Structure 1
Amino acid sequence: MTLKEKIHKACVEIVQQKINVLQKNLHELSDSAGNETKRTAGDKHETALAMLQIEQENNSRQLKEALQQKATLEKLDPHLKTETVVRGSLVHTNKGIFYISLGLGKLKADNETFFAVSPDAPLGKLLLMKKAGDAFQFNNTSYEILSVE
């Protein structure tokens, strides 16, 4: 398995863990709401039920976002080889390794530290369509692209 494949797999696993936690939370909140409706009515009951509903809505929104992230990752081909930086590229620079995929931040795979960067983020936009040997500035730092996978 190549480094790019390991990095892609690490990103998928992180998003899947997030999905699992959110699904578990939603299940627990649903159980709590069911138990809350069995209690007697009153202001405390109404407030608790409203709080549970808000929490469920927040978890549902986060779950939807995580599922969209997973779908985005599934569209990326870790075997794709290009000379220019596109979605799914692994970019080696003099300042680190960047996987153009999702904004997941600093991660580790195969004892390598890398940054999962969204192509819509400022740094991701700067990297797109660049190739090995290109240089650019970002936040007063000079970057040189060493290779693109």
Structure 2
Amino acid sequence: MSRLIAAAIYYVDVAPEFLVPVYAGKQYLVEGKLFARPIRAVTSVESCSEVPHVLIIKFCLTPGNMLTQELELKKRLLQESSKILTLQIQAAKEAMDDAQESANEHQGAMEDRFESFREACQIQRDMYARQLDELITTMGMLKRVNATKQNSEITLGAVVMTELQNYFIGVSLGEIKIDGESFFAISGMSPIYKAMAGKTSGDTFSFRGKEYKISQVF
């Protein structure tokens, strides 16, 4: 049975009847905890007479619905990470093959300038080969992430929501956007991960002079 466990206040410039029930990047309370993710189970939208352009949006959720949404977001982050890595692997392989082909074209050339060019191509080919090996290793690490696991503390595979930024603990890929919401994919070797490792919702950690309040871990 569903029950009302969340409410939020939003500053908007549209009338309630035009509001789409998907609210990304906003903060709201669920059972006393601060969250900042899209929620679609809206029960009512009420205007606030005291303050213009303020709406009180109420959500009716079940714990099962919340868990499903969290795991779905984690799955999408994992899929997007895999897609980015696959493209990087393809690009590295193509660059390596191109460099090898250029080197082969000058195989057996006697003139110094051709030999120097061939050596430069071979060096470039070896560089791309090392990059390809690193990317394949990184993909292997990403495949260790279990998108069906609910994390209660920050470890490999966790999605971490803070008041400043959101993180996906897997491999280092930079910013990933899901439905317009930003997540930074970081690895377990990154300095910021070491600052937050093992913490859970409600905890704080410091990194490079900034204090981060963890609003949610899953």
What TM-score, normalized by structure 1, do the two folds share? 0.93
User: Which of these residues, 80, 84, 90, is aligned with residue 10 of structure 1?
Assistant: 80
Q: CA deviation at 1:49?
A: 1.0
CA distance in 2, matches of 1:49, 1:109: 44
User: Which of these residues, 102, 119, 130, is aligned with residue 61 of structure 1?
Assistant: 130
Structure with the larger helix share:
1
Find the residue that maps to 1:63 and give its secondary structure: helix
CA contact (8 A) 1:93 1:147 kept: yes
Higher normalized contact order (CA 8 Å, seq sep 6+, divided by chain length): 1
Q: What is residue 96 of structure 2 aligned with on the other side? A: 26
Q: CA deviation at 1:128?
A: 1.1
User: Which of these residues, 124, 133, 141, is aligned with residue 202 of structure 2?
Assistant: 133
CA distance in 1, matches of 2:100, 2:207: 46
CA distance in 2, matches of 1:87, 1:12: 15
The percentage of aligned residue pairs carrying the same residue is 26
CA contact (8 A) 1:6 1:110 kept: no
CA contact (8 A) 2:156 2:188 kept: yes
Structure with the larger strand share:
2
Q: What is residue 111 of structure 1 aligned with on the other side? A: 180
CA distance in 2, matches of 1:79, 1:148: 14
Q: CA deviation at 1:111?
A: 2.0
Find the residue that maps to 2:154 and give its secondary structure: coil
CA distance in 2, matches of 1:74, 1:82: 17
CA distance in 2, matches of 1:82, 1:29: 44
Q: CA deviation at 1:11?
A: 0.9
Q: CA deviation at 1:36?
A: 1.2
Any idea what the Cα deviations from partners look like across 1:20-57, whole Å, max 9, x if unmatched?
0011112212221221126x411111101110110011
Find the residue that maps to 2:193 and give its secondary structure: helix
Whichever residue aligns with residue 4 of structure 1, its letter is: K
Find the residue that maps to 1:115 and give its secondary structure: strand
Q: Which runs of 5+ in 2 are unaligned?
A: 1-70
CA distance in 2, matches of 1:110, 1:4: 13
Q: CA deviation at 1:85?
A: 0.8
CA contact (8 A) 2:151 2:157 kept: no
Please report the RMSD computed on the Cα atoms of aligned residues, expressed in angstroms. 1.3
Q: What is residue 156 of structure 2 aligned with on the other side? A: 87
